Amino acid sequence: MPSVLLIRPLCEGDEPEFAEPLGIERLAGYLRAYGVGDVRVYDRRLYQAEWRSGIADEFTGGLFDDLRKAYPPGRAPALVGLSLMTSADVPDARRIMSRLGRWWPQATFMAGGVYVTGAPEEAARVLPRGVVLQRGEGEAQLLALARATGATGAEAPPFVSPDDWAIPHRPYPERYAALGCAVNVQASRGCPGACTFCATPLLPTQLRRWQPRDLRLVVDEMQQVAERLAAAGLPPIFNFVDDDFGPLFRLEGLADELGRRRLRVAFACEMRLVSLIGQPALAERLARLREAGLTRVFFGVESLDPATLERWKKPYDVSALPQVLEAFRTAGITVQPGYILWHAGQTVRGARAEVEGLRRLGIYSHRAALSRLIVFPGCALAHGSIDATGFQSMDAQAEAFCRRFSAKTGDLTRMWTQAAIAEPYAVAEAFLTGDGTRLATLRDALDEANERSFALFMEMSA
């Protein structure tokens, strides 16, 4: 029986938001379900996060120390897979492959993830020769590779639907929870949207088409992890990482299943704004969802300019946004709106008007003031003008303003980011414990940062 090793590398530069690597955990669970008994998952970023937090010290071993212990002389994994989210993961992935390739010259190395799926030609160019590239979600391909190295077990289907996913193999969820990370859960695949700034609409049909997972299976997974966290004295806090969790009635179905099992958890998700606009009795339905544990929802506002939304193929009725926001406030559910202020069609004057509009709606944030359109490989905008850092190119005046504003708010950005990263977990903790002291402190810091940011933006754009 071969051994399979799955690794998430470090991200080059700063990584503002740390979370568990659900992709390789889910792949590991699938391999184990189909007879590959020795599957190990390692996250290089976890070691880094524990050192930064003070949980680990200079005497604590790192990834390579642990790999030496896991694979003593005479033992080696047959397959080593690395998950790459963006091109920023490539430098460390190369370092890992180089070092482990010297240790285990007979091992097969592969790379997958969003970066490889969206930019396979670029990945082939920058990664070492001989590395097997795996596009898509990968369960069937990875299992086939493992079988080629000697694995045995039941046959797997060539394409794996969400209901056929296995429960992820999470070796150490307690370590992530101790760092204030929610447990990531995926409950669907794909997205019905066609946003031109997103890579999903141009994926193969089977990957881009929205497909939900049976909610009973989703709650099976949540219950398993919640019981494990409870045994360690840690709160059951979950975050759904789907591009789109689905329509409102699907969230209500999740709440019903949690209620049937008397499972008290806190959870957050991402939805499409068009799934919320025009929903009858929205505030009352959201209030019931909050009672079931829904504490936070992300949805992409992206722009208050209808012409920009039309160019991006993101249609929604901007005039309906105030009613949706008020429904969430009434229900007591935190909203995190996505916004892209700076892009090729933006001017300083236009940005100022949008910032004022965000302020009137009560959703202005320092993050929104800095947000720029990132052109991800594989999206419809990838053939346009892109600067050296991967942002969509802008005219000289807009670019100069962005640079000045960013330079003047460096300390403010660090303060805001630190509080914003901690807030979602604090919201969930306050719901579960009834103690909102930490949350109030974080929100005071965010409010102060947003006030200072708005005042400076108005001053500089006058």
Using DSSP's 3-state secondary structure scheme, residue 268 falls into strand
Virtual torsion, Cα 114, 120, 125, 127, nearest 10 deg: 40
Is the CB of residue 391 less than 8 Å from the CB of residue 375?
yes
Give the chain's length: 462
Q: Number of C-alpha atoms within 13 angstroms, CB side, residue 389?
A: 9
Of the candidates 327, 345, 367, 300, the one whose C-alpha atom is nearest the C-alpha of residue 355 is 367
d(CA 260, CA 239): 20
The model's pTM: 0.93
| Amino acid 156: pLDDT | 45
Is the CB of residue 127 less than 8 Å from the CB of residue 83?
no
Using DSSP's 3-state secondary structure scheme, residue 312 falls into coil
Is the CB of residue 271 less than 8 Å from the CB of residue 299?
yes
Please state the separation of Cα 361 from the chain's center in Å: 26
d(CA 121, CA 126): 9
340, with CB counted inside 10 A (0-12, 13-18, 19+), is: buried
Q: Count the Cβ atoms, other than its own, within 10 Å of residue 447.
A: 11
| Amino acid 208: pLDDT | 87
d(CA 173, CA 266): 16
Of the candidates 332, 338, 306, the one whose C-alpha atom is nearest the C-alpha of residue 319 is 306
Is the CB of residue 290 less than 8 Å from the CB of residue 331?
yes
64, with CB counted inside 10 A (0-12, 13-18, 19+), is: middle
- Residue 144 CB partners (closer than 8 Å, separation 6+): none
Is the CB of residue 203 less than 8 Å from the CB of residue 117?
yes
Is the CB of residue 190 less than 8 Å from the CB of residue 207?
yes
- Mean pLDDT for each 10-residue chunk of the chain (462 residues)? 91 81 95 92 94 81 92 93 92 96 94 88 92 86 77 52 94 94 95 91 86 97 97 97 96 98 98 96 98 97 96 94 98 97 96 98 97 88 78 94 96 94 96 97 97 98 94
Residues 232-268 as b/e (b if ≥16 CB within 10 A, e otherwise) read eebbbbbbbbbbbbbbbebbebbbebbeeeebebbbb
Give the H or E element holding residue 112. strand 108-112
d(CA 141, CA 130): 16
d(CA 237, CA 48): 22
| Amino acid 9: pLDDT | 96
Q: Please state whether 300 falls in left (phi above 0), alpha (psi between -120 and 50) or beta.
A: beta
Give the CA distances from residue 213 to residues 163, 218, 250, 316, in Å, rounded to whole numbers and listed in that order: 5, 7, 11, 26
